[in-house]
Chains A and B, each alone.
Chain A
């Protein structure tokens, strides 16, 4: 009897392993192992080229906290960027989703239209928008004489922040819109209709009834948008390269510059370890907050 139990236990363990080990192996080999190697490098002084890195303990981490204005600037930028990015992306995507989940004509075409920027590579997005901001805006100004087109959207420290947010939001909206549409489709229509009959105003209907029902979508969208905004790299890399000066340098870009242009690979690794913990902290906090709400709702 006991051996029978053991056998069953063994079989289910084997089955569990058979299903999960392949995934664990590839994730470990291509993400976690290299990341652990970076963690090791973070305790060294290494330019990424010399054959032997020099172990220096926590000196890199000390430097980040005591003597790195660039990193602090990048941190400030990234947090502010994240706030704007998460807010605008989710609000606009939700509004579009509500509009495109209705009886509006041609909604399939419209859904595709808003999704298109999301399927274009970042390299090309950056290239297109550089073209718009330089050549395009010159032509718009000549055409309309609206002074806004003559402002330096990529050259002014404050405006370049706005530009980076605009392009990032523009690119991301489609993806989140689809998730919200998906969420709205799970909302039973009879509940809404019942509320309509009760004479609830449309805004009340939305906030009181629809919102709680699509809370799972909101949780997921916030999670995706938070983690991708904190990691933001591509748009900035190809649009402003963090400039002018360091005005639009995100943490990920700062890490890239530290490792590759300053040749401080060990130091860059230390920064990336901290970025990982920052993202972990923020997203876990957000998830636990919303999971609790979901249960209550």
Chain B
């Protein structure tokens, strides 16, 4: 009895902390429903009458559906590529215990320490040569190179927990190594795959600087983050529009996270921790 009371108290305390923690975001929600004059008078007050006009305007001005699709395409191409490339390489590198393998591993994970700002100009040059600029598809491909190091690191660690006997089983069956990997091993990597998907998808969905540099800003090849950024620039003073715009850009990511939340912790347990 006493104990459950203590748990209840802790729970209440944590919910209070969470509310304070999320208060900045709560303010965003409150203010996205206000008119311009209401925002200017008091930020903390609740809106007198919730006004969804801001959302209607932001939805239209951001060209939300088509930009959402663009961002989704880049994120999907990027994430799928990263998962495939890094799981294959991470698996093989973890299984091969030679000096060459160690060397390749270092080559693959060292880029985690390179600050993006230090190579971005040259990256744009290379992207241009490879005809990857100006389209969300090209953007997705560039993400492969940027995303693989961390993901490979996570796969590399996780593979250690998969018994090597399974490799041999697959081989005896006489499948090609690639088929054996995707049929037998890859499904076993599912927990860490989930984490890799979430981490990469979130980052690509939210990324700003690379799309800014690589997409030429044309409407047909623009991501939500870029549009939101321009939106802030254009409606500098209309905080109410901007707040609605913020919520529109953030919502898909939050939904995606909540949908996968269960898997993320499982993946981390297995993945990052054993790295």
| A interface, CB within 8 angstroms of B | 15-16, 18-20, 22-24, 26-35, 37-38, 41, 48, 99-100, 102-106, 108, 110-124, 127-129, 131-132, 135-136, 138-140, 142-143, 170, 178-179, 181-183, 185-186, 216-217, 220, 227, 231, 233-234, 252, 255-256, 259, 265, 268-269, 272-273, 275-276, 279-280, 283
Q: A122-B208, A220-B272, A276-B113 are in contact. List 13 more A-B contacts (CB 8 A).
A: A19-B178, A27-B148, A28-B107, A30-B126, A31-B111, A31-B114, A33-B126, A37-B119, A113-B21, A135-B43, A179-B272, A181-B265, A272-B115
Contact A16 B22 (CB under 8 A): no
Give Cα A122 to B256, complex, Å: 18
- The residue in chain B whose Cβ has the minimal distance to the Cβ of A19 is B92
Give Cα A206 to B149, complex, Å: 33
A128-B246, A135-B43 known; A185+B269 contact, CB < 8 A: yes
Give Cα A104 to B145, complex, Å: 41
Question: At the interface, yes or no: B46 with Cβ under 8 Å from chain A?
Answer: no
| B interface, CB within 8 angstroms of A | 7-8, 10-11, 14-15, 18, 21-22, 24-25, 27-28, 31, 39, 42-45, 81, 85-86, 88-89, 91-93, 96, 100-101, 104, 107-108, 110-123, 125-127, 130, 142, 144-146, 148-149, 152, 177-178, 181, 202, 205-208, 225, 228-229, 232, 239, 242-243, 246, 249-250, 253-254, 256-258, 261, 264-270, 272-275
**Can you list 9 residue pairs at the A/B interface with Cβ under 8 Å?**
A19-B89, A31-B146, A41-B122, A113-B22, A118-B202, A139-B42, A140-B44, A182-B272, A220-B273
Residues on B with beta carbons closer than 8 Å to the beta carbon of A104: 7, 10-11, 14
Give Cα A276 to B111, complex, Å: 9
Tell me, rounded to whole Å, the shortest Cβ–Cβ distance linking A40 to chain B: 9
Tell me, rounded to whole Å, the shortest Cβ–Cβ distance linking B62 to chain A: 13
- The residue in chain A whose Cβ has the minimal distance to the Cβ of B229 is A123
Residues on A with beta carbons closer than 8 Å to the beta carbon of B264: 178
Give Cα A41 to B119, complex, Å: 10
| Pairs A-B, 3 closest by C-beta atoms | A30-B145, A272-B118, A121-B206
- The residue in chain A whose Cβ has the minimal distance to the Cβ of B210 is A30
Contact B253 A20 (CB under 8 A): no
Contact B25 A116 (CB under 8 A): yes
Q: Which of B119, B207, B228 meets A38, CB within 8 Å?
A: B119
Tell me, rounded to whole Å, the shortest Cβ–Cβ distance linking A110 to chain B: 6
Residues on B with beta carbons closer than 8 Å to the beta carbon of A121: 205-208, 225, 228, 249-250
- The residue in chain A whose Cβ has the minimal distance to the Cβ of B271 is A182
Tell me, rounded to whole Å, the shortest Cβ–Cβ distance linking B19 to chain A: 8
| Interface residues of chain A: helix, strand, loop or mixed (majority) | helix
Contact B246 A23 (CB under 8 A): no
Contact B122 A34 (CB under 8 A): yes
Give Cα A221 to B25, complex, Å: 26
Give Cα A181 to B115, complex, Å: 28
Give Cα A192 to B80, complex, Å: 40
Q: Count chain B CB atoms within 10 A of each CB in A110, A143, A179, A182 and give the residue with the most.
A: A182
Give Cα A179 to B272, complex, Å: 7
Residues on A with beta carbons closer than 8 Å to the beta carbon of B115: 231, 233, 252, 255, 272, 275-276, 279
Give Cα A138 to B14, complex, Å: 27
Q: Which of B93, B178, B267, B273 meets A20, CB within 8 Å?
A: B93
Tell me, rounded to whole Å, the shortest Cβ–Cβ distance linking B230 to chain A: 11
Residues on A with beta carbons closer than 8 Å to the beta carbon of B225: 121, 123-124
Give Cα A187 to B234, complex, Å: 52
Contact B21 A27 (CB under 8 A): no
Give Cα A157 to B261, complex, Å: 39
Tell me, rounded to whole Å, the shortest Cβ–Cβ distance linking B275 to chain A: 6
Contact B22 A183 (CB under 8 A): no
Give Cα A23 to B181, complex, Å: 16
Q: Which of A99, A124, A233 meets B10, CB within 8 Å?
A: A99
Residues on B with beta carbons closer than 8 Å to the beta carbon of A283: 113
Tell me, rounded to whole Å, the shortest Cβ–Cβ distance linking A139 to chain B: 4
